[in-house]
Copies of this chain bind each other. A is one copy, B any other.
């Protein structure tokens, strides 16, 4: 995985797509410059999850954007996704690596500094620092890191980092400025009137702050 692929990381939520299909939203988002896509479906049946992944795969492939599956290794295997993203309550990392092999991307959420230390002992491809801010799209998250916490986390991490949690066009700049490789967003793209324009705007802000640091 290239570090740059974390720059603008779309994490999906079908329920936040304002009635548009996930495929349509992702298609617009990659046109707008999203660099990685994570399919996250916490309530869908396995069948639906697989079908969504199968529909997103050609969209991402055509755009040269990695498709990452949240939690479900079996779904990732079935569609031959580029990798999985696992949280602290998902499959243990070592197990995920054994099942997926050395070439797939595996990202791991860290919710505090203990998680981060443990992640440093693993050969994960990236860590998702979560949450930076409070967020309406996940209600079961840990205490936010805040900008200062994020800065320390980025310094401590030996892995590429992506920040997630409550970010939008007015906050991504600060987040990139503290040194993360990228930002992951859900509603800022999924619920935008134009996912394409929203992605372009977010990427514009991110790139600007990357140049400055």
Contacts and interface: CB of A to CB of B under 8 A. Distances in A.
Interface string A52-96: 000000000000000000011110011000000010111110010
B48 A89 contact: yes
Which of A47, A48, A72, A89: most chain B Cβ within 10 A?
A: A47
Interface size class of A (residues with CB under 8 A): 10 to 19
A194 interface: no
A177 to B, nearest CB: 34
B50 A78 contact: no
Contacts of A73: 74, 77
Interface in A77-134: 77-78, 86, 88-92, 95, 99
Contacts of A99: 74, 77-78
